[in-house]
Chain A
Amino acid sequence: MDILDLTQIVLYAACLIVATPILGSFMAKVFEGEKNFLSPLLGPPEKLSYRLAGIDPKEEMGWKRYSLALLVFNALGFLTVYLLQIFQKSLPLNSQGLTNVSWDLAFNTAVSFMTNTNWQAYSGESTLGYLVQMLGLTVQNFLSAATGIAVMLGLIRGLTRKSAVGLGNFWVDLTRSTLYVLVPLSLLWALLLTGQGVVQNFTPYLKATTLEGSAQIIPLGPAASQIAIKQLGTNGGGFFGVNSAHPFENPTPFSNFLQMFALLMIPAAQVYMFGVMIKRKRQGLALLAAMSIIFVLAFGVALKAELLPNPVLGTSAAMEGKETRFGIANSVLWAVATSSASNGSVNAMHDSLSPLAGLIAMLNIMLGEVIFGGVGAGFYGILMHVILTVFIAGLMVGRTPEYLGKKIEGPEICWAVVAVLIPNAVILGGSVLANMLPCGISGISSAGPHGLSQILYAFSSAAGNNGSAFAGLNVNTVFYNVALGIAMLIGRFVVIIPALAIAGSLAGKKTAPVSSGTFPTDGALFILLLVSVILIVGALTFLPVLTLGPIVEHFLMLQGRAF
C-alpha cells in the first residue's frame, strides 16, 4: 500500500463524514414532512400521486396494516419482474432477441430484486433485455430501497411515539423516500457516472473485430441509470455480469470512488437521521460509532490479509481477480463496504480474495448486515442488536431493560431474536442442505475448504440480502435458484415483520423519562457493548463452520498448500 492508496482511503472516510450529517438532516426533514429545498419542485407531484392513487396521506396505519401494505406492494413488484422475464421474448426493447427466462431463474431474480438482495444467478448482458433491466430491475432497485426506508421510519416512530397505535403511512413513506431522496441522488450520480464513461444508450450490442482479427461482441445498454441506484439503494445488481469490475460499468478510479461513496452514503446518513428524528443526536452517533469500529476493524484485517505474502502464489498482494485500474486497497475497501452494507456489487472477484479477506466479507454479511447495512435495513437490523444488547447488559444497572425510555419486554425480545437468529438458521440450514445434496455439491468449482466457503457464502449472501458471491459456485440450477430464492425471502421478511411488530409494540408503550438511573445508550461503554454483542452473537453461531472454511484455508495457505 502506498501513499496514494492511503490518500484515497482517507478521502473516502472524509467524504462520508462530511456527507452524513448533511444528508441525514435533509432526510429527517423530508420524512417529518417539513419543507425542504426540493419541496417547491417535488411537492406538487407528491400531492398529485396521492390524489391519483386515492391515498389520504394523513391516515395512520397500525403495524399490521403497515406490514400488509408492504407485503402486498412487494408481492406486486415480484410478480411484475417475474412476468417481464418469462415473457421477455415477446416484449419490446429486446435488441438481441434474448429468449424467455426459465421459471426458476425468473423466480430467483424476481425475489432477488424485490428483496434488495440483487443476487444474480444470470449474467446481465446475455440473459436480460433492456426493458426487463429498466422496467423490472431498476424500478425494483428504487422500490426495494424505499421499502427498507419505510420500515426504518415505522420503527423510529415506534420509538418516539407514546401510547400510540399508528406507525405512519406506508404509501407516504414510500413516495417520499423515492421522490425526494432516491430519484434526485440517482439522477445526479447517473450524470456523473456517464461523464466518466459509463454507457447509457439503447444501441444493440456492437460487433467488433479485435487486433487479433477475431470477432467480439461488445454489450451496451442503459447502464448508468441502473448503476446509480444499484449503489445508492444498496442493491448491488450489476447491469453487466461482472458488475463494477466491467469497464463500461465502472471505467475509472473516479467512477469507482463515486460508486463506493454512494454505497455507504445513505446507510450512514440514515443513522444520523434517526438521531435527528428522535431529537437526541448522540444516540444516532453512538450507533454510527459502533458501526464504524467494526468497519475499520474489518477493513484493517482484510487489507492486512490481502497484502500478506501468499506462499501458494509466491507473491504478496496478489492481483488475480482484481482490476489493475483500482488496485488492492480500492478492491479491499469496496469488498468490505459492499459486504457490510448489504450492497453486493463488486469491483473485484470475492472468490479470489485471500482466505481471511473472504472471511471478513462473509462475516460482515453473517453479522446481519448491520455495519451500516442496507438502505433502511441496516438501521432496523442494528436496532434488533441494540435491543438484545440493552436487554442483556441493561439489567446490570438494576433496572428492567429500556431503550430510549421504552421498556424492552417479552414481546420485543421474542421478535428481536427471531430477526437476529432466523437468518442465521437459514444460512446454516441452507448450507447443510447444499452440502448433503448432490445437486448442491455439484455447483462447487474449487477443491479443499474453499468449496465449503463458496456454499456458505452463497447462503449468507442470500439470507443477508447482500447479493455478492464467491462467484465460483455455479448457481444457475433449479436447486440453487429455488433454495437461495427462499433464503432471500426469509432473510428479508423475517427481519422486516419483527421490526414492524416491535415498532407497533413500542409505540403503544409509555416513555420513561431519563434519569441518572437509566442505562446510558449514548456513551463509549454502550458502543463497546453493542460491538461485543454483534460480534459474539454473530460469530458464536458461525465460528465452528467458518473454522472448516476460510480459517483452515488461511492456515493451509500459510503452509503453502492449495487444492
Chain B
Amino acid sequence: MKKEIILSAIFESIKKLNPLVQIKNLVMFVVYVGAILTTVLLWRNFSPFNLQITIWLWITVLFANFAEAVAEGRGKAQADALRKMRTQVFAMKQVAHGKFERVNAADLKLGDIVECFARDTIPADGEVIEGIASVDESAITGESAPVIRESGGDRSAVTGGTKVLSDRILIRVTSEPGKAFLDKMIAMVEGAHRQKTPNEIALEILLVSLTAIFVMAVFTLPPFAQYSEKASGQIGVVNLTIPILISLLVCLIPTTIGGLLSAIGISGIDRLTRRNVMALSGRAVEAAGDIDVLLLDKTGTITFGNRMATRLIPAPGVKAEELADAAQLSSFADETPEGRSIVVLAKNQFGLRSREVAEHEAHFIPFTAQTRMSGVDFYEHEGRPVRKIRKGASDAVRDFVGSDGGIFPSAVREEVESISKKGGTPLVVSENARVLGVIELKDVVKGGIKERFAQLRKMGIRTVMVTGDNPLTAASIAAEAGVDDFMAEAKPEDKLKRIRDEQSHGRLVAMTGDGTNDAPALAQADVGVAMNSGTQAAREAGNMVDLDSNPTKLIEIVEIGKQLLMTRGALTTFSIANDVAKYFAILPAMFGALYALHGVNGPLAALNIMKLYSPESAILSAVIFNALIIIALVPLALRGVTYRAQGAAIVLRRNLLIYGFGGLVVPFIGIKLVDILLVTLHWV
C-alpha cells in the first residue's frame, strides 16, 4: 500500500470521529459512546487501569475508522484524476441550425447539441449524431490508442472529459448536469454516498440486534451481581464499574465485522475498478456473486471473433505441400484475418516461408462479392498468365475451373459438405483447371476458456453461448468450448426472452452487451455489463461498464462478487466465534472473588482457564486483543479472502475451518499473549 494513502487514512480516521459519521455504523457507535463515557468518568475516577481501558476503546474506534478510510483512500487517487478532467470546459452549443454559441459545459442540459473539433474536450456524455472522429479515451480507460466514434451504429457514445483527436462531430447531450458517467465513476470509486447493498443491510440488522442483546446481557449484570454479593455476604466484591461493563460489552458485540464491514464493501468495488470495470451500483457487485447463468456472446468472448484456417485437405492425387503452397501464394496479398491465418497455417505445417513475389510477375486478385474468390495470377513476361491460383467458395471455384475445362472432384465436394455440416467454412483452392483441395476455416475457441467454464460449472454457474450462427455451427463451437447451452440464430429480443425465462425459474443472469438493441436485455439482466465501446443506450442500461470492452471480464466480475460475499461471511463468523474466548477472560475477572472463603480466589476463578495474571490484566488483554484484531484483519478485508473456483461444500469446509474454528482458537492465544506482554511491561 502506498504511504500517502496510509497517511491520509490516518488523518481521515480522526476526522471520522464526528458523531454524525459514527452513528452510521451502530455497532461501532456503541464503542464510540462507551469511549466517551469512560473518558468523562476519568475525571471522577482516575486510575491507570481506567485510563488504559479508555485509550484502547478510542483506539478500537480509530482502527475501525482507519479500515474504512484506507478502503476509501485507494479509490480517491483515481477519483482525483477523473475529477481533473471535469475542470472548466467550454462547449459550442447549437442555438439554431448551423449557429453555435460558446457556453459553459456545466450549463449543458439533456438534449442540447454541441459541436466538437479536433483537440476539443468533449463537454458532456452524449451520442454522436453527425460525423466521425477519433477520440482519446485514455483518461478513463487507460488505453492510449484512440478509438473511432461515429454517428449511427454501435460506436456512437462519447464520454464527457475525453478528447477529440481529429475531425468534427456533432453530439447530442444525453446526461443531466452532474449525473454524467464521469460523475458516477467518481462517486463509485470514492465510495462516497455509497448505498448499502441489500445483503449488507440484512447483515447490519443482525449485527445491531446482537449488539442490542449484548447491551441487555451486560447491563442486567449489576443487579444479578448485587444479589450474589448479598447471597455470599461479600458486599462490594464484584468489580462492575462502568469501564469494566463497557469493556465486556465492547468485547462481546461484533466489533470485528462491524468495524470492517464498510471497508469490505468499498474494497470489493475497488477490486472491480482496478480491473477497469465500473460498477454503477453496489447491488450489482453483490448480485454478481449470486449469478447462476452467464449469457456470453460467442464472438469475442468464446472465440477470437474471426474464422481461421485450421486444416488443409488436398484433393485426390494432389500433394499436401502443393496445396499449401498454392493456398499461401493466393493469400499473401489477403490482409483479412482469414487470409493471414492461411499463410500462418502453411508456414506452421509445411515450413513454407514468405517468398519474394516479384511485383511484375504476380498480379493479385482481390476478393469481391461478385466473384467470391481471391487469388493471384503469375505471368512469364508480359503476356498470358501461366498460373492462375484461386481460392474461394466452392461453387465459385467450380464454375471458374469448369470454364477452363477442369472437373470438380467428388471427393472435394464431399469434403466441402462435411466441413459445412460441422459449422466450418470451406474454401476451395484451384490452380488453372485443377482443383487442389480445401482449406477449412473455423471459429477458433480461445485457449483456456474450456477450463474456465469447467470451473464455473463447479461453482454451480451455467454458461450459455449466444450467437447469430446457424444451429449447426453453434452446436459444434458450443461442444468445443464446453458451454452448457447455446442459443443459435439469436436476435437481441431472444436474449431478453431467455433472461426473463431463466429469472422466472429463480436464476440470476449476467450478460455483456454493446449495441443499442442489447439495451433491454442489459437492463433486464441481474448483472448487465456494457462495453465502454458500445452505445450510450447500452451503457445506460447496464449496471456495470467494462472500460476495456472485454467480454471475458464477466467471469472475473462474478468471481469478485463471490469473493466479496465470502469475505463478509468469513469475518462475521470469525467475529462471533471470538466471543467464546473473551468470556473466559472477562467473566472470571469480574466474578472470581465471589464466594471466596479467604483470599481473592473464589470458585469461579476456576473459569480462568487461560491463567491470566490478574482481573485487570484479563480485562485489558481482552479489550486490546479486540482492538488489534480489527487492524490485523484490515489487509484481509481489503484483499478479500482467498478465492478458488470450487463447489460450495468444499469452499464452506475450508472457510469454516479457517474463520470458524480459527475464530474460536485465535483469541485464546492472542489474549494470553497480550496478557504476558502487559505483565512484562508492568502495565498492570
Contact = CB atoms under 8 A, between A and B. Distances in A.
B289 A399 contact: yes
A429 B219 CA distance: 10
B587 A544 contact: yes
30 contacts: A162-B506, A388-B206, A392-B572, A395-B199, A396-B566, A398-B561, A398-B651, A399-B289, A400-B286, A410-B201, A410-B202, A414-B205, A421-B213, A428-B216, A428-B220, A431-B224, A449-B228, A449-B595, A451-B227, A516-B460, A517-B460, A517-B648, A525-B653, A536-B579, A540-B580, A541-B214, A544-B224, A544-B583, A548-B225, A552-B228
Nearest to A536: B576
Interface string B379-398: 00000000000000000000
Given A447-B231, A552-B594, A425 B213 contact: yes
Contact of A425 (B205, B216, B647): B216
A140 to B, nearest CB: 31
A395 B565 contact: yes
Interface stretch (B179-187, B513-521, B603-611): B603-611
A400 to B, nearest CB: 5
Contacts of A510: 503-506
A448 interface: yes
A556 B595 contact: yes
Interface in B583-622: 583, 587, 591, 594-595, 597, 602-604, 606-607
Contacts of B210: 417, 421, 537
Nearest to A162: B506
B507 interface: yes
Chain A, interface size category, equals 35 or more
Contact of A432 (B223, B460, B562): B223
Interface of A: 162, 388, 391-401, 405, 408-410, 412-414, 417-418, 421, 424-425, 428-429, 431-432, 435-436, 441, 447-449, 451-452, 510-513, 515-520, 523, 525, 529, 532, 536-537, 540-545, 547-548, 551-552, 555-556, 558-559, 561, 563
Given A395-B566, A513-B506, A428 B594 contact: no
Nearest to A452: B227
Given A398-B651, A511-B506, 5 more contacts: A408-B202, A421-B212, A435-B224, A510-B505, A520-B652
A516 B648 contact: yes
Contact of B569 (A392, A412, A425, A432): A392
Contacts of B587: 543-544, 547
- Minimum-distance CB pairs A-B, first 8: A517-B460, A395-B569, A515-B460, A398-B562, A555-B603, A510-B506, A396-B569, A417-B209
Interface in B213-260: 213-214, 216-218, 220-221, 223-228, 231-232, 248, 252
Contact of A452 (B224, B577, B583, B597): B224
Nearest to B590: A544
Nearest to A405: B506
A409 B199 CA distance: 6
Interface residues of B, number: 79
B128 interface: no
A452 B231 contact: yes
A516 B209 contact: no
Contact of B206 (A413, A552, A561): A413
A54 B1 CA distance: 73
A126 B200 CA distance: 57
B659 interface: yes
Nearest to B458: A516
B290 interface: yes
Contacts of B226: 435
B457 interface: yes
A421 B460 contact: no
A463 B356 CA distance: 95
A552 B595 contact: yes
B199 A396 contact: no
B402 interface: no
B290 A400 contact: yes
A416 B573 CA distance: 18
Contact of A544 (B206, B217, B643): B217
B460 A448 contact: no
A397 B648 CA distance: 5
A335 to B, nearest CB: 24
A432 B652 contact: no
Contacts of A397: 566, 569, 648, 651-652, 655
A441 B460 CA distance: 59
Given A544-B587, A563-B231, A396 B652 contact: yes
A548 B656 contact: no
A552 B201 CA distance: 40
Nearest to A448: B231
B649 A513 contact: no
A535 B506 CA distance: 33
B209 to A, nearest CB: 4
A393 B216 contact: no
A505 to B, nearest CB: 12
A551 B604 contact: yes
B461 A517 contact: yes
B570 A548 contact: no
Interface string B473-504: 00000000000000000000000000000011
Interface of B: 198-199, 201-203, 205-206, 209-210, 212-214, 216-218, 220-221, 223-228, 231-232, 248, 252, 286, 289-290, 292, 457-462, 503-508, 561-563, 565-566, 568-570, 572-573, 576-577, 579-580, 583, 587, 591, 594-595, 597, 602-604, 606-607, 643, 647-649, 651-653, 655-656, 659-660
A513 B505 contact: yes
A400 B199 contact: yes
Nearest to A532: B660
A417 to B, nearest CB: 4
Contacts of B292: 512-513, 515, 517
A517 B223 contact: no
A345 to B, nearest CB: 29
B208 to A, nearest CB: 9
A552 B604 contact: yes
A127 B217 CA distance: 37
Given A393-B573, A394-B569, A424-B213, A544 B648 contact: no
Contacts of B218: 544
B568 A525 contact: no
Contacts of A162: 506
Contacts of B505: 510, 513
Given A516-B457, A555-B604, A555-B606, A398 B220 contact: no
A398 B583 contact: no
Contacts of B225: 548
Given A399-B289, A517-B459, A552-B594, A451 B231 contact: yes
A518 B460 contact: yes
Given A432-B220, A452-B227, A400 B506 contact: no
Contacts of A391: 202-203, 206
A417 B604 contact: no
B503 to A, nearest CB: 8
A517 B573 contact: no
B597 to A, nearest CB: 8
Contact of B224 (A392, A517, A548): A548
A516 B648 CA distance: 6
A428 B216 CA distance: 7
Contacts of B213: 421, 424-425, 541
Contacts of B648: 397-399, 516-520
Nearest to A533: B576
B591 A540 contact: no
B209 A421 contact: yes
Contacts of B506: 162, 405, 510-513
Contacts of B604: 547, 551-552, 555
Given A516-B458, A551-B604, A552-B228, A435 B202 contact: no
A521 to B, nearest CB: 10
Given A396-B566, A551-B604, A413 B289 contact: no
